Structure 1
Amino acid sequence: MAEFRRIVLCADDYGLSPGVNRAIRDLLTRGRINATSVMMVTPAIDRAEADALASIKSQEPNIAIGLHVTLTAPFRPLTADYAPLRDGALLSIGQTLGAAMLRRLRSALIAAEIRAQIEKFTATFGAPPDYLDGHQHVQIFPQVRDAFLEVVSRDLPKAWVRQCGRVTPVTSRLSDRKGLLLDILSAGFRTRAARLGVRTNPAFAGSYDFHADPNFAVLFPRFLDGLPADSVVMCHPGFVDDMLKRLDPLTDLREREYAFFSAETFPKIMAANRVTLA
């Protein structure tokens, strides 16, 4: 019988809204997830919300808390001279990716903003992040990845970073345009990370079409298929509240994901796929 593989099941977007924070803390406390990525430029990462998360980690040291580097709208940067902006806010994901592909971003400004978010995280939690990734996968974009990895290699050499390349067969990749783009961008990211001696996860899963009407109970076992140990599976559980509605288009699907992870069938699915969080 195959041995159990330990994975990192990471809930993104802690700090986005009180409802998202509450759902993530509940799943961490119940052992249904073992990592969360924290946004430091969002309105729901005040002292109380940060302390509540830190308290859980103090009781469960194996939980990983990472920095969710945020460089896209509708949020505002921490650094005063960051550019480009639109009406004082960061560009949309499409605009950011387009500018990155055309190499129109300024690496020094990106690096300064990433350092500011790291510094705020460290001041808030009293320790540097265990790992770093990016909101909307921005860390693997051209230009951004260079600044991101340079900062991590110099400032946080013990941290690991998230790459978003999968282990699915090529035939499956071609039917998933979003996943294929992540695979392509992650190839360069992994190469650069290896050159700088920055650790990455061996594989990634959890991406799906947020605009469709997915059955998460069907999707999730597919994410686990063939994953090597220490791979990252991304998720976005949360409770919908007014702040979330104002800031992010991903709303009801968060509650569906929360319901899946909190259900009694979830541990059985993990066991059936020989996967563990311990």
Structure 2
Amino acid sequence: MSQRERMVVLCADDFGLAPGVSEAILFLVEHARLSATSCMAVASDWPRAAALLQPLSATIDVGLHLTLTTLPPLGPMPVLAPQGRLPSLPGLMRAAFTGQLNGREIGTELRRQLDAFMAAFGREPDFIDGHQHVHVLPTIRNETLALLQDAALTAAGTYLRIPWEHPARILKRGTSRRRSLVIAGLSLRLAKQARLQGVLANHGFGGVRDFDPRMDYRHFFQRTLAGLGANSIIMCHPGHVDAALRAVDAVTTTRAQEFAYFASDAFCQDLAAANCRLSRFRAMTSRR
């Protein structure tokens, strides 16, 4: 390995959300274009997709994508989802910042999602994060850390993906600055708590974007690679657009664009030009 080569975890989110998303991610995993994927155990496609992912799991990190927005929860949540469906992200944020979340209810649902992940996949997740970064919000962050401790995941080596990046790097990179700064600011408390509790976590994060199909995604990814710090994770959202995806999520066209880029020679060329190599988290951190 050259002295300047940088290792990075490239993580595709939303595995299990819809068959088209799962199949696109599986293709990229099979062709060594990803080093992690984050799975939605609440989604209807998860049990089927998990069986297809399991034979490939030795080559990538497979995580649990804690989900508390939009989809139905796995069990009753009379406070957060009285009608049987989780709120939108703005609704969840309002509840979190006004003290309206019930910690016990949240914790119980997170444990159900962990149990559903393990039932379908057969082992603990390599990492935990949150769909739409919900795990950084008040109450939810405490329950996420409690899940790691109470389920003995920390002892098993499960790491926590935190969307924290130093503001100076965000400003220098110059892509989706406002959104990135907001997410980083919301992540700071979780990053500090995780460090105090000895939870393994990444030190840098990239991939935050506005899902505008007019964006030149290759240029965006090049800028992301150029601005990475040590122990960084880049999230992405590739997928094939199908009727099942359209029924549950507004992010469609950009998933197809991201898939086309990661499946292309241009992606490999950009990694080489940036002197970056895809890595699993433990391999990346062991070289520090």
Instruction: Give me the TM-score of the superposition, normalised by structure 1.
Output: 0.93
CA contact (8 A) 1:174 1:180 kept: no
Cα-to-partner distance string for 1:18-51 (whole Å, 9 max, x where unaligned): 00001000000000011100001111113x3211
Alignment of 1:54 with 2:54, yes or no, is yes
Moved more, 64-73 or 192-201: 192-201
The residue identity in structure 1 corresponding to 2:63 is G
Q: How big is the shift at 1:79?
A: 2.2
Partner Cα distance (2:223, 2:118) in 1: 36
Counterpart secondary structure, 2:234: strand
The residue identity in structure 1 corresponding to 2:190 is F
CA contact (8 A) 2:212 2:254 kept: no
CA contact (8 A) 1:153 1:196 kept: no
Partner Cα distance (1:174, 1:188) in 2: 23
Alignment of 1:72 with 2:69, yes or no, is yes
The 5 Å alignment of 1:2-17 reads 2-17=3-18
**Which of residues 145, 152, 158 in structure 2 aligns to 1:149?**
145
Partner Cα distance (2:45, 2:219) in 1: 32
Partner Cα distance (1:26, 1:176) in 2: 31
The 5 Å alignment of 1:129-140 reads 129-140=125-136
Q: Residues 128 and 177 (structure 1 numbering): CA distance in 2 closer, same or farther, change over 3 Å?
A: same
CA contact (8 A) 1:236 1:254 kept: yes
Q: How big is the shift at 1:174?
A: 10
The residue identity in structure 1 corresponding to 2:160 is V
Q: How big is the shift at 1:274?
A: 1.1
Partner Cα distance (2:76, 2:227) in 1: 45
Instruction: Figure out how many residues of one structure are paired with residues of the other and give that number.
Output: 273
**Which of residues 83, 100, 103 in structure 1 aligns to 2:79?**
83
CA contact (8 A) 1:153 1:197 kept: no
Partner Cα distance (1:211, 1:153) in 2: 38
Counterpart secondary structure, 1:200: coil
Counterpart secondary structure, 2:46: coil
Aligned residue number for residue 282 of structure 2? none
Cα-to-partner distance string for 1:37-88 (whole Å, 9 max, x where unaligned): 0001111113x3211100112xxx2311000000001x11112245221532
The residue identity in structure 2 corresponding to 1:163 is I
Alignment of 1:260 with 2:256, yes or no, is no
Q: How big is the shift at 1:186?
A: 1.0
Partner Cα distance (2:193, 2:162) in 1: 11
CA contact (8 A) 2:211 2:254 kept: yes
The 5 Å alignment of 1:99-118 reads 99-118=95-114
Instruction: Give me the TM-score of the superposition, normalised by structure 2.
Output: 0.90
Partner Cα distance (2:265, 2:44) in 1: 33
CA contact (8 A) 2:175 2:220 kept: no
Q: Residues 4 and 205 (structure 1 numbering): CA distance in 2 closer, same or farther, change over 3 Å?
A: same
Q: How big is the shift at 1:140?
A: 0.6
Counterpart secondary structure, 1:108: helix
Alignment of 1:122 with 2:118, yes or no, is yes
Q: Residues 229 and 109 (structure 1 numbering): CA distance in 2 closer, same or farther, change over 3 Å?
A: same
CA contact (8 A) 2:65 2:131 kept: yes
Alignment of 1:220 with 2:216, yes or no, is no
CA contact (8 A) 1:39 1:69 kept: yes
Q: Residues 119 and 102 (structure 1 numbering): CA distance in 2 closer, same or farther, change over 3 Å?
A: same
Alignment of 1:98 with 2:98, yes or no, is no
**Could you list the runs of 5+ residues in structure 1 that have no partner in the other structure?**
none
Partner Cα distance (1:54, 1:204) in 2: 26
The residue identity in structure 2 corresponding to 1:68 is H
The residue identity in structure 1 corresponding to 2:34 is I
The residue identity in structure 1 corresponding to 2:49 is E
- Give aligned-pair identity as a percent: 36
CA contact (8 A) 2:22 2:239 kept: yes
The residue identity in structure 2 corresponding to 1:256 is Q
Counterpart secondary structure, 1:199: coil
Aligned residue number for residue 161 of structure 1? 160
Q: How big is the shift at 1:175?
A: 6.8
Q: Residues 174 and 229 (structure 1 numbering): CA distance in 2 closer, same or farther, change over 3 Å?
A: closer
